Amino acid sequence: MPLNPAEIRLIVIGAMLALFLSALDQTVVATALPPIAKDLGNFALISWVITSYLLTSTCVTPIVGKFSDLYGRRKMLNGCLILFMVGSALCALAPSMIPLILARALQGLGGGGLITMGQTIIADVVSPRERGRYAGYFAMVWGSASVLGPTVGGFVTQFYGWPWIFWINLPLGLTALLISNNALRKLTVDRHESRVDYAGVLLLCATTVCLLLVLSLGGERLPWASLGMVAMAGLTLLLGAVFVLQQIQSSEPIMPPHFLRDRVIRPITITIIVIYGAYLALAVLAPIYFQIALGRPVGEAGLLMLPFMISSVITANLAGGYTRRHGRYKRPPLVGLPLTIVSVAVLALTATRASAPVASGILMIAGVGLGPIFPCTTVAAQNAVERRHLGIVSGAVAFARALGGALGVAAASALVLGLAAQALAQIGSVANLEDLAQHSLPPEVRHAVAQAFSYMFGAVAAALALGLWVFYHVEDRELANHAPVAISPTVD
């Protein structure tokens, strides 16, 4: 039975609220870490409050997509919301650091699933030609969560206590559950003979966890060239190879090998890993550049990043409108990415002498060019598969973004610290860039760090150029004008 406009509207609102919850919880905890460590003790483990969520949320994204194809969107969305809310409650009630870390891991299982389910459900009820607009809305959700997260976390922690950054997830999660549950009952499940590929699930989780541990611990807890890091990297490669071989032989793979032969999905996946890694390197490290190289306080550094976030959200929405009008998805990124590459290259050349407002303006121009790639890659990937694979491909897109982001931030951070290592030796051991931002640096060290950031921006520009080259080879297929489940009229 086709869904009516009111039901579609409820589904969209519920999906976006679920996505907002997951996006917010990736940033809201950061400003609460010092009070958490003060109350719960065991400061040496504080980074695992973030890392445990990252590990589980990344692992689960492709798995939830596959399961939703087999068992239905409503069951999986409800299950992810319940897991997320239970994890949030356990976080708020945690009596010590270890239970908090375990509760964050449980919360990540739900949060990672919400990312996949939000995009998959929209793909069910909205035609590919209309999806670009909704992908633009999702970009707005991510952008607002990135900006609001640290601010909300700091405000709530200061006036109500850190447990309330977790308690507020319960009413929001219940609202998302109630809004979309009834309407989602009408979404049919494409029943087909299948079984859960448990071996693939375990191998994917093991490979992802090992890779993220390498990226999280390398250069901070363990030197990159240490025996432990080399062994962990080798284990990651071995598990990855076994996973690929197992998926080729599986009758119901988590990541279908034929995706890698598709002239849209293969280059889109590589594009997402490369460009989202470059984007997140800018989003995470540019505020630290403002603090260290340009000497701006942390609050002002956040404000200086607003033009970058806002401009990318605006052009993401404009690109979504383009795909709706023209039924094609390649042109907006092909026009926008060269602008981003040039602007980041300019920042690389001027990083040691630019003023904070000028650097912020250059980043704003970079955001203008970056915005279109996010809705266009999502729409292209979903348009390339039949409905029974929508969950898988949406999970693959979310997984590629998470993986690319982790790789980009780790590589950019290691590059800056490595290039500035000699100058930083004057101030003692520095575990990461966040620690470095807390130091009062002499002028010569500050200049050396600024020079290191200039090389980092140059590397980001090169990565963006590589991403543009890969995206150029994506096949530009016409977007279908009908929804997989319902004939979707315009929902404003």
Rounded CA-CA distance 251/101 in Å is: 36
Mean of the per-residue pLDDT values of the chain: 82
CB of 23 closer than 8 Å to CB of 142: yes
Of 61-75, 357-371, 445-459, the range with the lowest mean pLDDT is 61-75
Helix %, strand %, coil % for the chain, to 5? 80, 0, 20
Rounded CA-CA distance 14/175 in Å is: 8
Rounded CA-CA distance 282/460 in Å is: 8
Q: Is the pLDDT of residue 276 over 80?
A: yes
What are the pLDDT digits (tens) for 391-425?
888 888 888 888 888 888 888 888 888 887 766 66
Q: DSSP letters along 7-35, please?
A: HHHHHHHHHHHHHHHHHHHTTTTGGGHHH
Helix (H, G, I), strand (E, B) or coil at 467: helix
What are the pLDDT digits (tens) for 337-393?
999 999 999 999 998 888 889 999 999 999 999 989 988 998 888 888 877 778 888
What are the pLDDT digits (tens) for 74-123?
888 889 999 999 999 999 998 888 899 999 999 988 888 888 888 888 87
Does the pTM surpass 0.85? The reply is no
Rounded CA-CA distance 172/335 in Å is: 38
Mean pLDDT, residues 150-160: 77
Q: Which residues contact 118 (CB under 8 A, 6 or more apart)?
A: 15, 16, 18, 19, 22, 138
Rounded CA-CA distance 444/422 in Å is: 11
Report pLDDT for 492: 35
Greater pLDDT, 59 or 84: 84
Rounded CA-CA distance 356/293 in Å is: 10
Tokens of 249: 């032989």
Of 187-201, 255-269, 306-320, 450-464, the range with the lowest mean pLDDT is 187-201
Greater pLDDT, 475 or 13: 475
Q: Which residues contact 277 (CB under 8 A, 6 or more apart)?
A: 404, 405, 406, 407, 408, 409, 411, 463
Residue spans of beta strands (DSSP E) within 68-155: none
Report pLDDT for 470: 95
Rounded CA-CA distance 14/179 in Å is: 6
Greater pLDDT, 209 or 365: 365
DSSP state of 478: P
**What are the chain's domains?**
1-185 (1.20.1250.20), 198-251 (no CATH), 257-477 (1.20.1250.20)
Q: Which of 185, 177, 211, 189 is nearest to 84 (CA)?
A: 177
